[in-house]
């Protein structure tokens, strides 16, 4: 079963079960089993109830699904932002963001995701076991990351050409835009389907809105001079809303295309075998 790619759990309580308990992905024994079986097992049931295993499997799959959400979001967003940062330094006479602003961006971004372990996972993702797949993460990063860079450069154009921003205005505008898109994209990435049909946990929604609200108000706060920020014109926030909405729609389209392509590839591989 393992040679065919299955995740195998083995339940046994005797001496002769010890080799299989050790070889299985998850060896399961019971409290009344012989010592050899219990030592070989990864899990010991204290009650005669397989429902405990069912609950544990579902919780494990939910945890894995939420970990994957964070990794997919972080790798794609960071790839796009660092690519934007590198290219921006080629034509800007100043740093696109100050080191303190980059650290603050990362801190607020991580704070917005503290509630992610509480989030729900779609039943489609819970239906079968999933394995760690670096190629999946790499391909997703390369597909979604450049979209973030495209919208970063649109933001650069608006700030420089439409709003005639100076250094402080440019840094403030990109800080707010990059944080808003990074935080909100989790609601698109967290599900394979329509994000409007998959309800996120309330704590995740509140944390995301709180961080975005803080990012918008910081340039108008007494801390702004210390952080290198300056108040932005009101028209920027209207453009920000349009940019963010377009970005989330583009990520949704690219995400669906990415999963559809991988599903077709997997189906073709299964047919060839």
Domain range summary for the chain, segments of one domain joined by +: 9-45, 57-272
pLDDT at 5: 80
**Tens digit of pLDDT for each residue in 162-212?**
888 889 999 999 999 999 999 999 999 999 888 888 899 999 999 999 999
pLDDT at 217: 94
Q: Sign (positive/negative) of CA torsion 133, 135, 138, 141? A: negative
Which residue's structure tokens are 């990074």? Answer: 182
271 band by pLDDT with thresholds 50, 70 and 90: low
Strand order in the sheet with 9-11: 9-11, 26-30, 43-45
Structure-block tokens of residue 65: 């699904």
Give the mean pLDDT of 157-161: 89
214 band by pLDDT with thresholds 50, 70 and 90: very high
Write the secondary structure of the chain as one string of H (helix), E (strand) and C (coil).
CCCCCCCCEEECCCHHHHHHHHHCCEEEEECCCCHHHHHHCCEEECCCCCHHHHHHHHHHHHHHHHHHHHHHHHHHHHHHHHHHHHHHHHHCCCCCCCHHHHHHHHHHHHHHCCCHHHCCCCHHHHCCCCCCCHHHHHHHHHHHHHHHHHHHHHHHHHHHHHCCCCHHHHHHHHHHHHHHHHHHCHHHHCCCCCHHHCCCCHHHHHHHHHHHHHHHHHHHCCCHHHHCCCCCCHHHHHHHHHHHHHHHHHHHHHHHHHHHHHHHHHHHHHHHC
**Tens digit of pLDDT for each residue in 4-27?**
888 899 999 999 999 999 999 999
pLDDT at 273: 61
pLDDT at 250: 94
**Tens digit of pLDDT for each residue in 116-136?**
999 999 888 888 878 888 888
Q: Does the pLDDT at position 56 exceed 90?
A: no
pLDDT at 222: 93
Query: How would CATH label the architecture of 57-272?
Result: Up-down Bundle (1.20)
Give the mean pLDDT of 131-155: 89
pLDDT at 82: 84
Q: What is the mean pLDDT of the chain?
A: 89
Tell me how far apart the alpha carbons of residues 60 and 82 are, in angstroms, rounded to a whole number.
33
pLDDT at 272: 66
pLDDT at 197: 87
User: What percent of the chain shows pLDDT beyond 90?
Assistant: 49
């Amino acid at each position: 079963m393992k040679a065919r790619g299955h995740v195998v759990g083995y339940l046994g309580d005797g001496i002769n079960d010890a080799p299989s308990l050790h070889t299985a992905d998850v060896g399961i024994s019971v409290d009344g089993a012989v010592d050899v079986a219990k030592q070989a097992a990864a899990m010991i049931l204290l009650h005669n109830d397989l429902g405990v295993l069912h609950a544990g499997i579902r919780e494990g799959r939910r945890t894995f699904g939420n970990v994957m959400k964070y990794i997919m979001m972080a790798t794609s967003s960071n790839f796009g932002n660092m690519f934007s940062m590198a290219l921006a330094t080629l034509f800007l006479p100043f740093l696109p963001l100050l080191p303190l602003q980059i650290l603050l961006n990362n801190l607020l971004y991580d704070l917005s995701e503290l509630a992610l372990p509480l989030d729900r996972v779609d039943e489609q993702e819970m239906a079968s076991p999933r394995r760690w797949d670096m190629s999946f993460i790499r391909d997703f990063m390369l597909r979604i990351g450049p979209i973030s860079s495209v919208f970063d450069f649109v933001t650069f154009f608006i700030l420089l050409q439409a709003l005639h921003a100076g250094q402080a205005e440019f840094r403030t505008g990109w800080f707010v835009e990059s944080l808003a898109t990074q935080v909100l994209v989790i609601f698109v990435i967290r599900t394979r389907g329509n994000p409007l049909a998959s309800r996120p946990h309330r704590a995740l929604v509140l944390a995301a809105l709180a961080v975005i609200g803080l990012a918008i108000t910081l340039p108008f706060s007494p801390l702004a001079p210390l952080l290198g920020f300056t108040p932005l014109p009101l028209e920027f926030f209207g453009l920000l809303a349009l940019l963010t909405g377009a970005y989330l729609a583009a990520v949704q389209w690219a995400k669906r295309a990415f999963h559809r392509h991988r599903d077709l590839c997997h189906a073709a591989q299964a047919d060839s075998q």
